[in-house]
Amino acid sequence: MGLEIERKYTVNNLIFERLKKLATGVDIRQGYLNTAPERTVRVRTKGEKGYLTIKGKTVGIERAEFEYEIPHSDALALLELCEPYLIEKTRYTLSENNMIWELDVFEGIHKGLIIAELELEDKDKIFNLPDWIDKEVSENPIYYNSALSKNPWIEQQ
């Protein structure tokens, strides 16, 4: 069984503009076939690849995670079956303070939202936050992608 330990943060949009020049982005489209708190089932295209991901219930910042590569054409077909609001974002990966950060810049109905994610091997790991972090939102469900698939960010502002 895979275990995901992830912390999430909002990002200062103005500072992000300088960061974007330092990182490479990849386009992601994802949707949810199941968004029950006990389990989520996600379909994603990342560039020209497709993925099916099953995640267990989040406890603090940890949850079980199983991810499988699937044919891109299958992922596109499965996206048609998902919750009404697909997630469209560009993911930038960059290294800062010896940590690998993934910054998701949302588009479409979630435009304006930028989330930084940090996957950890130990939930108690201590690290320094970069200056472009606003606040931690790891345990705030409105920032979960599965919640965004049902409630557009633009309507939450």
DSSP string, 45-99: EETTEEEEEEEE--BTTEEEEEEEEE-HHHHHHHHTTS-SS-EEEEEEEEEETTE
Catalytic residue (one of 32, 85, 92, 143): 32
Please indicate whether residue 144 is annotated as part of the active site. no
24: β partners? 93
Instruction: Quote the CA–CA distance of 152 and 55 in Å, as a whole number.
Output: 21
Instruction: Quote the CA–CA distance of 38 and 50 in Å, as a whole number.
Output: 24
Instruction: Quote the CA–CA distance of 76 and 74 in Å, as a whole number.
Output: 5
What are the catalytic residues? 32
